[in-house]
Amino acid sequence: MPQSDSDGVIPTKTIQISVVIPAFEEELQIERTVEVIDAHLRPAGVAHQYILVDDGSRDGTWRVIESLAARRPDVCAVRLSRNFGKEAAICAGLQALHPEFSDACIVMDADLQHPPEVLPRLLAKWREGFHIVEGVKISRGRESIANRIGARVFYRTLGRLSGVNLDNASDLKLLDRKVLESWNRLSEKNTFFRGLVPWLGFSHATVPFDVAERAGGTSKWSKLQLARLAVNAITSFSSLPLQIVTILGLCFLAGSLVLGIQTLYMYLSGIAVTGFTTVILLLLIIGSAIMISLGIIGIYISKIFDEVKGRPRFIVAETVHAREAARVAGLTSPRAPSP
């Protein structure tokens, strides 16, 4: 959607797309990923640039990205000061690109599991006028049974608790500039990209795709990180768990009323039994219910604590070609902000 700015400067090439790729220990294939994406975007006739974010990798990922940026001025490299996680790396990439230079951006993985063959279809939907185009997984690729079950339980729970249906959703997304500008206005520190993008609203289309095999290396998500992401996502979108604590409390109150009446009756009628087992069981049940409830409340308090501290979502150690990448990819002057 090329448009002129107030000085009448019209982009030299056709459309400007920024491709944001978070990369954590992807030295084996990051360069090939860029080449394959090139091969699919060039025929589509779009001027494009890359924002490659190294999420504190300990292998040679930064070396590869940096040398790529040295050879190709349309590659912007961002290095985070440590591993902040994929969500933060995506935020860093979206923040590094200059919305005034981009008509849209595409977020995708560095391991080619989001097949670049779908990119022309994402662009076609965007050209039809949709502001958000999401890649939706038809199949989840090769995955352990535990991960498959975990994902299913997580999405079902999230759907039930928050009404947000993210079944088969992925981080492969195309965002129009308007959406990008709204994203950059979000101030929360704990982001869940996949869930927050639909929350922004705007018109929305989906493009199905099959998750491909990893191009190289292995997935770096540990079970603990996945569990943390799931808890973070659920508590970001729903406060229902807190209300469940109250409901649990009410259930116990009802139970204790019944038991209280029974105990009093037995005492008054002189047949009070030495209900030792009952006492122990009650203690255990109530004790664990209180602990779990406190835990749930604790999660929310820690989230409030994180937000109140106001620390940045990530820290950038260095960047290469931040502005240059946009200029080289085909624009001579920033565009006017969208109306």
Least spacing, CB of residue 211 vs Mg ion, in Å: 8
Both structure tokens of 225: 């990180």
Write out the two tokens for 162. Answer: 């928050």
Among 55, 66, 103, 176, binds ligand UDP (CB under 6 A): 55
Binding mask 112-151 for ligand UDP (x = CB under 6 A): -x--------------------------------------
Strands 316-320 and 75-80: antiparallel
Q: Which stretch binds ligand UDP (CB under 6 A): 63-71, 125-133, 214-222, 273-281?
A: 214-222
Q: C-beta of 171: minimal distance to Mg ion in Å?
A: 10
- Which of the listed partners (ligand UDP, Mg ion, none) does 86 bind, with a CB threshold of 5 to 8 Å by partner kind? ligand UDP
Tell me: does residue 93 bind ligand UDP (CB under 6 A): no
The window from 5-13, 79-87, 115-123, 273-281 that contacts ligand UDP (CB under 6 A) reads: 79-87
Helix axes 86-96, 177-185, angle to 10 degrees: 120
Q: Which of 109, 133, 175, 236 binds ligand UDP (CB under 6 A)?
A: 109
In the chain, what's the furthest Cα-to-Cα distance? Answer: 96
Residues contacting 320, CB < 8 A, separation 6+: 66, 69, 70, 75, 76, 77
Q: Looking at residues 237 to 256 of the shown chain, list those that interact with ligand UDP (rule: CB under 6 A).
A: none
Measured from the CB atom, the residue of 136 and 244 that comes closer to ligand UDP is 136
How many angstroms separate the CA atoms of 291 and 294, rounded?
5
DSSP string, 246-308: HHHHHHHHHHHHHHHHHHHHHHHTT-----HHHHHHHHHHHHHHHHHHHHHHHHHHHHHHHHH
Site of tokens 């979502």: 313
Q: What is the DSSP string of 176-245?
A: EHHHHHHHHH---SS--HHHHHHHT-S-EEEEEEEPPPPSSS-----HHHHHHHHHHHHHHH--HHHHHH
How many residues lie near ligand UDP (CB under 6 A)? 16
Binding site for Mg ion (CB under 5 A): 109, 111, 113
Smallest distance, ligand UDP to C-beta of residue 54, A: 8
Residue 89 binds what, of Mg ion, ligand UDP, none (CB under 5 to 8 Å, by partner type)? ligand UDP
Q: Given the rule CB under 6 A, which of 78-86, 119-127, 153-161, 321-329 is the region that contacts ligand UDP? A: 78-86
The rounded distance, in Å, linking the Cα atoms of 238 and 286 is: 25
Of the candidates 110, 119, 123, 230, which one interacts with ligand UDP according to CB under 6 A? 110
Q: Is 27 in the site for ligand UDP (CB under 6 A)?
A: no
* Binding residues for ligand UDP (CB under 6 A): 22-24, 26, 55, 83, 85-86, 89, 109-111, 113, 219-221
